Amino acid sequence: MTRRTLFIFFILTFAISWGVLVLFVLFTAQAEAMFGKLGYTNPLFILAVYAPALSALSLVVHHHGFAGLGPFLRRMLVWRMPWGWWLLLIVGLPLVSYAGAAIKGTIGAPFPFDPWWLLLPALLTTLAIGPVEEIGWRGLALPLLQRQLAPFWAGLWLGVIWALWHVPAFFLSGTPQSNWSLPGFFLGCVALSLILTPMFNAARGSLLVAALFHFQVNGPAWPDAQPWDSVIFAGLAAALVLLERRDYFERGAGATEVLSSTSSLQTPDRSGDTKNQRGSGGRERTS
């Protein structure tokens, strides 16, 4: 896979997502009559959200055939990561939400699920929507970006693109973003990308870790903290860049595998790329 693959991924992702949402804006009455109001259960909304995953999976099949899907998705089973990162993922991210809510004054708001067990289907819905994006963003885009850039710059650029991809949602009622501040959200996306990048690299390119990170950020049980949670995430990202600056700015330090290494060595690449390449710094790199 090459830079061209990365470019095609972004084009496909934006074309599908923005195309669907533009059609919904232009033909709102017809779309709502067929698919219902825009929201998590609307098929058009799900298609728009799944665009990064669909684009990535299509490109994996294009380059490696259907046999490549197994090694690609096998990264969902990678879970080993230093305990400090797990602590940040499980405890730190919710704490940021509560700290932001405390500043905003919403920490004492009534629990949004009554009775409490209604939280369970909300958790399942959240798990099935947002985290699927990571099959594209961190499954394909980040490893390919890190072949060319140091992790800081790869995470920064991906964060900007990730934020831009969400922009149409701010102009559509029924989406969470329609009630949020666009500048605050943009800042938060970039900050989250810079936080997730070293975590993703510490987990050796784990799709599981990326998906759980996305799930935690979107957690339906956390109080409304926009835009203050974004400000806190920006501060956390700045602290991590300072503390982990060696790994952030060392080109070749990030995870660059798209297919898990054990299988990618045995799978020919239809594009003619060699599977065993050396990234900068002499580190082995595979497709």
Question: How would you write the pLDDT of the chain (287 residues) with one tens digit per residue?
Answer: 788 999 999 999 999 999 988 888 788 788 888 888 877 778 888 999 999 999 999 999 999 999 999 999 999 999 999 999 999 999 999 999 999 999 998 887 788 887 878 899 888 988 988 899 999 999 999 999 999 999 999 999 999 999 999 988 887 766 677 677 888 899 999 999 999 999 999 999 999 999 999 999 998 889 888 899 999 999 999 999 999 999 999 998 999 999 987 533 334 444 444 333 333 333 333 45
The SS3 of residue 284 is strand
Tell me how many domains the chain contains.
Answer: 1
Note whether 257 and 268 are within 8 A (CB). no
Residues 221, 263 contacting (CB under 8 angstroms)? no
pLDDT at 38 (0 to 100): 76
Gap between the Cα atoms of 212 and 93, Å rounded: 11
From 57, 54, 81, select the one nearest 71 (Cα to Cα).
Answer: 57
Q: Cβ distance 192 to 217 under 8 Å? A: yes
Name 184's bridge partners: none
Q: Which domain holds residue 228?
A: 3-285
